[in-house]
Structure 1
Amino acid sequence: MKGVKPLILAGIVAASAAVHANDLNTVIDKSSEINNLAAQSQTKIDKIADSMQGRLQQFKTLNKEIDGLAVYNAQLTKQLNNQIEEMESLNLSMDQVSIIERQITPLMLRMITGLEQFVALDVPFLKQERKQRLESLSAMMERADITSSEKFRRVLEAYQVEVDYGRTIEAYTALLDVDNKEREVDFLRIGRLELIYLTRDGKQAGSWDQQSQSFVALPDSTISQINKGLRIARKQLAPDMLTLPIHAAE
């Protein structure tokens, strides 16, 4: 019977070991399952964290865009307000321009009439050229395709040309009735002080007498000075003193 007890004890130990082995396997399995679940949870947490980080970054980006749009809208608002003010100013200017245009047209017509009267009373040099300029101005005033500003510029330009005549010396060739015969002569204009002619053969000379409104003959002694003046006016000689009679000035 002594041999039976050890066998029983060994069986108990073996059974106990088997039970402990099963429990250990169960614990290991549970632990593995827990670890797997923990890993899955961590993965979900990481995904949620990444998603939150991405959304936070997106939120920050959107905030920057909103701030930029706010600044842009403020700038646009300023530009719009400035454009509205400019439009109001332009509308006011247009109204004023209409008033000015209604006033400036009669003024230009009076200026042209005054210029015609002045030319008619002036020393009769470049008669055809000045007549054509005045006719061009009168015709221009009837044209609708030319702006009022351009018309006014041309009228002022014509006045400037007339002003320049008074401070320049000029030589030109034209036809003149000399001794009841139309002849080609050289004219010498010295400002508005003197208008002298010399026949092309160099034998006859005369100057404009404003009082009698006609040309009067000059003595032959003046012909050399007239020739000199013609050459100076044509830039063939350097400017120099001239000795000539004065009839044109009043």
Structure 2
Amino acid sequence: MKRFIKPVRAAFMASILASVATPAFAQADLAGAISVGEAATRKAEQTQERINQLDDERSDMVREFRTLLQQKDAAALYKRQQERVVASQENELKSLEEQLGRVEEIKAQMVPMMEDMIAAAKMFYAADLPFKDMTEDGKLDVRADRYAKLDDVMGRGDVSPAERYRLIIQAFQSEMEYGRTIDAYTDDITLADGSVKTVDIFRYGRVAMVYITKDRNQLGRWDRETQQWVDLPSSYKSEVLKGIRIADKVATPAIMMAPVVKLSAQ
């Protein structure tokens, strides 16, 4: 015989099932809500990251824009400066073109000027003490050779005017230097009595020029007025020998007594 559940018992069981089923539905809704919340949070985080990225990109673009503005200003300033430089160079080119147009005229004026300079240098050379500037081997008088070369270059077509002028100025500078130096060398000289002797010459700048024989027994000086050698007292012997040693760099520089003669102005 079949058993049927009574209505009261069925209602009771339904209420129990309902009470049991309700928490399960609530848990499902809560899990769904949590899942939706987590998804929203992740979406918000992604959105914030994108916002931060866009803000960084904006900051980079602003800095780059400012840098470009500075570069633009610098380029504009450089352009203005270069325009002034170009204008100055154009003016300089015009000036050079004008000068080049007068080159032949300048050359024509330089030749007589250089001839006059050489003539003046030779006149001074002839009136000066007749000292030499010997090479170390004693075979060449550099001073005399310098003036011979000046005559040579003035007659040569392969020497530029600039080189000729340089050699002339070099000759004047060398003559000026002789006045601030001392020198000693061996030479053959002709004395007042006509005899020729090999002697040691010593030059006191341009103040005096003396000689002493190899045996050290005779000494003299060059007389500007008579243009010949005259005897010196033996009291100058030690000073002359000291000067020669200093000039030969075998003695230290020291004060020397020179046989100076007072010159009268004409």
TM-score (norm 1): 0.63
1:233 aligns with 243
Give the stretch that moved more between structures: 199-208 or 118-127. 199-208
Matched, 1:189 2:199: no
**1:140-198, Cα deviation, whole Å (9 max, x unpaired):** x9668xxx7x9988765643432243355543322323455653222233443443444
Report the RMSD for the aligned CA atoms in angstroms: 4.7
CA contact (8 A) 1:197 1:205 kept: yes
Question: C-alpha distance in 1, partners of 2:37/2:63?
Answer: 38
Name the residue aligned to 1:123: 129
- Relative distance call for 1:120 and 1:84 in structure 2 (3 A) is farther
CA deviation profile, 1:57-90 (whole Å, cap 9, x unmatched): 2332343344345445544654565566556656
Equivalence for 2:187: 174
SS where residue 6 of structure 2 aligns? helix
Task: Quote the Cα distance in structure 2 between the aligned partners of 1:130 and 1:106.
Answer: 24
Q: Which residue of 2 aligns with 1:207?
A: 222
Q: Distance in 2 between matches of 1:227 and 1:125?
A: 20
How far apart in 1 are the matches of 2:42 and 2:19? 34
For this pair of structures, how many residues does the alignment match?
236
Secondary structure of the structure 1 residue equivalent to 2:131: coil
Is this contact kept in 1: 2:212–2:218, CA < 8 A? yes
Q: Deviations over 1:114-165 (max 9, x none)?
A: 43443244332116221334466786x9668xxx7x9988765643432243
Q: Secondary structure at the match of 1:239?
A: coil
Using the aligned pairs only, state the percent identity.
18
Gapped regions of structure 1 (runs ≥ 5)? none
Larger RCO (CA under 8 A, 6+ residues apart): 1
Q: Partners of 1:229 and 1:242 in 2: how far apart? A: 8
CA contact (8 A) 2:184 2:200 kept: yes
Alignment of 1:165 onto 2:178: yes
DSSP 3-state at the match of 1:29: helix
Tell me: CA distance 1:187–1:96, structure 2 relative to 1, closer, same or farther (3 Å): farther
SS for the counterpart of 1:218 is: strand
Alpha-carbon separation, structure 1, partners of 2:209 and 2:53 = 97
Q: Confirm whether residue 218 of structure 1 aligns to residue 230 of structure 2.
A: yes
TM-score by length of 2: 0.61
1:55 aligns with 2:54: yes
Which one is further off, 89-98 or 130-139?
89-98
